[in-house]
Structure 1
Amino acid sequence: MRNRISIMIAAFALVLAGSMSAVVSAQSAAPKQLPSNVREERLASRLMGRDMPYRVVLPAGYDPDGGKKKLYPVIYLLHGLGGSYANWTDKTGLADYVRDHGIIVVTPEGGNGWYTDSVSTPTDRFESYIISELIPEVEKRFAVDPERRGRIIAGLSMGGYGAMKFGLKYPEKFSLVGSFSGALGVASFTEKNAGTIGKGVDSILGGEDSEVRKANDIFALLRAMPADKVAGLPFIYQSCGTEDFLFENNRRFLDLLTEKKVKREYREHPGLHDWTFWDSQIREFLALAERRPAK
């Protein structure tokens, strides 16, 4: 087990190093002009103690002056470790794909906070920010369906973990969850077994036996969930590339979903932990979100 985690973390560190390098390059480059259907927004967050950026991707035909005559489903789409809220629109064809679907997509900023309220930094309350501030703000400002049936959450890597966690912890809020190459076993990362990345996780989740870590361990959450609660979970879409270093971890979570009889769809394709795979997956997920009957 320890050796498996060490191998996974070493691969994670390489990916993170590449992501951080890309972020630095992007920051030094000239600002990129956004597609016409992408809006850059900021929310003055009381919980985070700072302005939080996010982007909103709008479908064809969306009328910003049309009030709420027509309500659209909304996907909250989470980025990965070392990334930012801009990644999904900058690194995939998301803006073009959304034009063809009657869905609004919101890409929040998650820092490197694992979409969790940090035990060590009081103003890094990413979970509470998304649930208690961002979602109500989007529902107030945009023509999105404010009911569970129209609210969807998904993400890649760290964001896949965040989306899966939100689906398990807040099943009354989301009808559909998507995890692409999810880093689903993050609660097992510590400084002892995962070095620098584990140290970062410790600063967010606390030590190995902390209550915060236990409350954010999605394997433990699902394992302990009674059948009546499982029946009320959102539909789950899970995917991972077969050459991804998180493939085995995703297979383990699939086994647990199967054991608990969770409503789900699982996809595995040849692919790495990269944007080629995630670009293909957001296209598949948009199609799934549009064709699935809302419940």
Structure 2
Amino acid sequence: MRNLFKGIALTCFILTCSLITRAARVDTVETYSDVMKKKIKAVVISPANYDNLKAMPVVYLLHGFGADYKNWISFAPHLKDIADADNLMIVCADGNVRSWYFDAPENPKSKYETYISTELVKYVDEHYKTIKNRTGRAITGLSMGGHGALYVSFKHQDVYGAAGSTSGGVDIRPFPNNWDMSQLLGTYADKPENWEKNTVINMLHLLTPKKLSLIIDCGTEDFFYKVNCNLHDELLYRNIPHDFITRPGGHDSRYWANSIKYQLQFFHDYFVANNK
């Protein structure tokens, strides 16, 4: 009996060690933007099964205004568990604290559209075992990053096959005095054309129906709720398929930590269907 207990204890110890060693890897990497002539950091989450996989899909996460590349992992540590479960890579990009992910017409030093859509993707594909085409890439983000994810994916449907937004600023025009956007676009009074052509809700003409898989959500108490409902209505009018989710919640990390679970499931289903 004593030997049986010892055997059980040893087995439990081995299983525990196995679980500890099989955990997602979280790295901070330093990339370089040639268009902005500077180094930019990112968090890269690799699944525990990385060494045994031939190639993996990648989800790019964009942070909100005033945050940085560490923001997502700080309030959503379960990203590591999802990466493990789905054999998925997750890249938490840096968009400066206020870039809005434009190649800003009024600030030539801020070219985050080019960085996110070209330079960062190139770095990840060169350094990791990724699926190196649009069917292996998705992008989403929160608030400013929700705007950025849709903005970048609409303009680069050859790079991303799926995109999302949570609590996204999908129409910036109602907020002309907020979040330093005038430093990037000029004031709305002086440069209205910059605002009109760089707001997501006015970019739907770029979409080819059924080419980009879309998921959009926003809490009903969020100050961006109305503009997200307007975007949903416009997508319906144009017969562009998309998932649109609303639930009680505000513009906060509690909502986003819950939302990202649904968005990553949506992307997982897309990857499975398109990479057989």
Q: Is the 8 A contact 2:210 2:241 kept in 1?
A: no
Distance 1:167 1:73 in 2: 16
Distance 1:121 1:267 in 2: 35
Q: Is the 8 A contact 1:243 1:270 kept in 2?
A: yes
User: Equivalences for 1:1-295 in 2 at 5 Å?
Assistant: 37-63=25-51, 70-93=54-77, 94-111=79-96, 112-190=98-176, 194=177, 197=178, 200-208=180-188, 209=191, 211-222=193-204, 224-225=205-206, 229-231=207-209, 233-292=211-270, 293-294=273-274
Question: Could you give the per-residue CA deviations for residues 180-213 of structure 1, whole angstroms, max 9, x where no partner exists?
Answer: 01111114432xxx3xx26x11111224345443
Q: Is the 8 A contact 2:151 2:200 kept in 1?
A: yes
Q: Is the 8 A contact 1:101 1:286 kept in 2?
A: no
State the shift of 1:103 in Å: 1.0
5+ unaligned residues in a row in structure 2: which ranges? Answer: 1-22
Question: Could you give the per-residue CA deviations for residues 16-65 of structure 1, whole angstroms, max 9, x where no partner exists?
Answer: xxxxxxxxxxxxxxxxxxx86110000122212211000101112112xx
5+ unaligned residues in a row in structure 1: which ranges? Answer: 1-34
Structure (1 or 2) with the larger CA radius of gyration? 2
Distance 1:36 1:239 in 2: 27
Amino acid in the other structure paired with 2:57: P
Secondary structure, counterpart of 2:50 in structure 1: coil
Distance 2:127 2:194 in 1: 33
Q: Is the 8 A contact 1:184 1:218 kept in 2?
A: yes
State the shift of 1:128 in Å: 0.9
Q: Which runs of 4+ in 1 moved over 6 A?
A: none
Secondary structure, counterpart of 2:203 in structure 1: helix
Amino acid in the other structure paired with 1:106: V
Distance 1:211 1:109 in 2: 27
Gap change, CA 1:188 and 1:271, over 3 Å in 2: closer
Secondary structure, counterpart of 2:139 in structure 1: strand
Secondary structure, counterpart of 2:140 in structure 1: strand
Question: Could you give the per-residue CA deviations for residues 159-192 of structure 1, whole angstroms, max 9, x where no partner exists?
Answer: 00011112211112211111001111114432xx
Distance 1:284 1:96 in 2: 14
Distance 1:189 1:243 in 2: 17
Distance 2:116 2:137 in 1: 13
State the shift of 1:132 in Å: 2.1
Q: Is the 8 A contact 1:88 1:107 kept in 2?
A: yes
Q: TM-score scaled to structure 2, two decimals?
A: 0.84
Gap change, CA 1:36 and 1:99, over 3 Å in 2: closer
Gap change, CA 1:176 and 1:36, over 3 Å in 2: closer
Superposition RMSD on alpha carbons, in Å? 1.9
Q: TM-score scaled to structure 1, two decimals?
A: 0.79
Secondary structure, counterpart of 1:214 in structure 2: helix
> Between the two proteins, what is the percent identity of the paired residues?
30
Amino acid in the other structure paired with 1:76: Y
State the shift of 1:122 in Å: 2.2
Distance 2:186 2:155 in 1: 19
Amino acid in the other structure paired with 1:139: D
